Amino acid sequence: MPELPEVETIARILRVGDHGPSLKGQRIQRVSLHWPRHIHTPSVSTFRRRIRNRLVRDVGRRGKFIHIQLDRGNLIIHLRMSGDLSIAANDTPQDPHDHTIFFLENNYQLRFNDVRKFGRVYLVDDEEQIFGELGPEPLSPSFTWESLMEDLHKRKRRIKPLLLDQTFLAGLGNIYTDEALHRAGIHPLRRSDSLEPDEVQALWKGIRDTLKSGISNNGASIDWVYRGGDFQNHFRVYQRVGEACTTCGSPIVRMVIGQRGTHFCPKCQPEASI
């Protein structure tokens, strides 16, 4: 699933226009729905009507959501397991998995490619209808190690599942959680309320540094879903079972926590005090 760095990269490409025209300033003429179940809110018929002739004001991200601000309302897209967004000229052949296509007035299209069809599209007046329950943005100035410690100590949960909880912290998924915990030297089964201040500071820094590195490398490309990233070449632990830890040389191991494959270094992330 695309995580914060991958979604941020996609939003930047759409906003800046790295591989074509920018989506900003474009007017959406109509939408073609080859998979109507992409549309979550409102009804399909209402969506078709309300999206016509909407002007794109800006493109951003909240958590793992693409946020397209319109002159009237907000177009929000959750890529889920296999989604990707790109801009292509009208005469460019469509991929079989381009299920939702927005036709723009400049003879280009915004295409939502979604192999597994798990993605969702929302058109709402108030973005908080979708974002209201999300946790803080980990790269926001308001996200401090002190605020993180307060939130960690309010809960008594294993740290790996807690960091994956989007209502606790927005944007982290399996890859970046494993990588951040390794940077911080924290075992993925540690209880959140057991972390000392110096450990929380290390975790806060690990989260931010991992995400910044992911963004600077345009995210990770590990399957057919998201392409163009390079962060997979900088993994410390994720999908490196049996390989040497980049810090101490010990073999990376894998365990399942909350039905999620979890990668860590048993020496750098000791089980003590779990």
Q: Is-catalytic flag, 267?
A: no
> CB within 8 A of 89, min separation 6: which ones?
20, 107, 108, 109
Contact 123, 41 (CB under 8 A): yes
Q: Is-catalytic flag, 260?
A: yes
Spot the catalytic one: 2, 5, 138, 188. 2
Spot the catalytic one: 15, 37, 260, 266. 260
Q: Is-catalytic flag, 105?
A: no
Q: Report the C-alpha gap between 190 and 274 in whole angstroms.
A: 4
Spot the catalytic one: 54, 62, 64, 183. 64
Q: Report the C-alpha gap between 204 and 209 in whole angstroms.
A: 9
Spot the catalytic one: 3, 6, 127, 179. 3
Q: Is-catalytic flag, 3?
A: yes
Residues designated as active site: 2-3, 64, 260
